[in-house]
Structure 1
Amino acid sequence: MSTATLPLRIPVALCAALAAASAGRAAAPPDVILAHGTVITADGRDSVAEAIAIGGGRILAVGADAGILALKGARTRVIDLHGRTATPGLIDAHAHVADGGLGELYHVQLTDAASVADIVQRVRARIGQLKPGEWLQGEGWDEGKLSERRYVTAADLDAVSPQNPVWLEHTTGHYGAANSFALRLAKISAATRDPQSGTIDRDAAGAPSGVLKESAQELVTHLIPAPTAEQRRNGIRAFLETLHREGVTAVKDPLIDQPTWDAYRALLDAG
């Protein structure tokens, strides 16, 4: 038996059904015991215990320290919670893990941008790291958070991105802003009709402003090179690490294509 001190945070996967387990002796000694803590069961009575026994990937018993510690065997690892709290793992039924991870690692983050000038400055900084012709992607801007209370437009972006196509996705994902370089690549002009279920935002003269809504986004986004297999794996790994830090132990990614599925499978096979 070994005794370990709990680090600042550890991922503890407890299922909601753990309250059904009792402090009775299990058929085999548990693999792990968490003891001397506050174990929130999240059952119908909001029961709180002191310790929990885990074996074979399942909750074996929950109860008072004395009863649970009596279950330990020669190879049981005992983790002293030192009064810390263990909770059931959180489950997110809708999280764009793969896309979110790619965004975190490879896109300009704009969720906290406070002005159009702030966004333009971030684009300028990233453009300096790219070769002419390479795409710059950003995400998360919200005109409701900007001091100007308006959309980002191609006119805002063009001065800092004359040699690179730019696409900045809105925080909702339902629209975004392209610079003039990207509009030219997509062959979007004043004569371009709105696609079905989409809108090309236009200025007072009828010229495209750079803002594309709903299906109109695809006129530009289909031109952006797909991420590599390595980038997909890196993105998934990074996002899962973020979820683990927040106590999320299960998640459903609702947007899976074959390359993304292959990335998940590769990570699973690699352990």
Structure 2
Amino acid sequence: MNKRISRHIAYWILILLFLTLFFGYKWDNHILAFYFSSLLLPIAIGTSYFFNLYLVPNYLLTGKYWNFTLYFIYMLVVSLYLEMLVSLLSFVLIANYKVDVMGLESISIFILGVNLYLIVFVTSFIRIVLQFREKSQMVNSLRSELEKKQKDRIQIRANRKNHHIPLDELLYIESLDDYVKLVLIKSEITTREKITKLHSKLPDKFLRIHRSFVVNKEKVQSYSKSQVMINDLSIPIGRTYKKSAVEALHGHKPGRE
């Protein structure tokens, strides 16, 4: 099941539990409260989604404040009317007209309205928090990628010295027993840094195709499902990386500078 759907189901189960506990405390009858809350829940779900997925994005966020206010009033009237119908049916069918079983003060229009719109606005707040977090993660990811793209060199520590390697000259990186080899167009450099750490410093044009190899996509002459050719050298594609590597190379013009 989709994680998003699972989260929504879990959230509404919590809301049902909240309503059951609230009315159960008022009536001292949690079974009756559960039945009543189950009838109220579809109204809460429908009102929350209508408000958060339709009214807010289509009218409030687009500056159509008059339309937003008008439709909000319509929603308020309809939702409270439906809640009163549920209350009446519950009083007749579930409580069998017994006031001592189902206290009338707890199903007043005020109590029902406060509970309903507390749920609606809490749902809206949670959506805002989740969307803000998602947008923040996206911005951070884009900022990180932009910083990588703006770099045309990578600094490597080798032989107790710092070396600035031009990315356009870097063909591939190979991890050996206890060191890593960076193969450039005209030279090679070895370092004690880990290949995973080096890969994290590089922009997206550098692709991990094997636990021991990272290649420059722009230097790939040709490729298959099992290997890539760079500078007339065959470099294997690991089984773990095969799917992602082939997808990344697909559509990329070999040998493009």
Category of TM-score, reference length = shorter chain: under 0.3
From the two aligned structures, give the one with the greater helix fraction.
Answer: 2
TM-score by length of 1: 0.25
Name which one, 1 or 2, has greater alpha-carbon Rg: 2
From the two aligned structures, give the one with the greater strand fraction.
Answer: 1
Higher relative contact order (CA 8 A, sep 6+): 1
TM-score by length of 2: 0.26
